[in-house]
Amino acid sequence: MIRVMRPIIVAGNWKMHTTPAESGPLARLIATRTNEPGVRRVICPPYVCLAPVRDALVGTDVAVGAQNVHAEAAGAYTGEVSASMLVGLASWVILGHSERRRDFGETDALVNRKLARATEAGLRPILCVGEQLADRDAGRAAEVVRSQLEGATAGHAAATLIASGLVVAYEPVWAIGTGRSARASEAAAMADVIRHAVAALGWDGAAAADLPVLYGGSVTSANAGEFLGEPSIDGALVGGASLKVDEMAVIVARAGLTARARSAAAR
Which residues are catalytic, by number?
Answer: 97, 171
- CA dist 90 and 105 (Å) reads 25
- CA dist 35 and 173 (Å) reads 30
Q: How many CB atoms lie within 10 A of CB 194?
A: 24
Residue of 160, 152, 147 lying closest to 100 (CA atoms): 152
Question: Are the CB atoms for 124 and 93 separated by under 8 Å?
Answer: yes
**SS3 sequence, 150-211?**
HHHHCCCCHHHHHHHCCEEEECCHHHCCCCCCCCHHHHHHHHHHHHHHHHHCCCCHHHHHCC
Report the SS3 class of residue 259: helix
From residue 47, alpha-carbon distances to 92, 115, 167 in Å are: 13, 18, 21
In terms of Cβ atoms closer than 10 Å to its own Cβ (0-12, 13-18, 19+), residue 147 is: middle
Torsion of Cα atoms, 41 then 47 then 49 then 52, to 10°: 80
- CA dist 239 and 243 (Å) reads 8
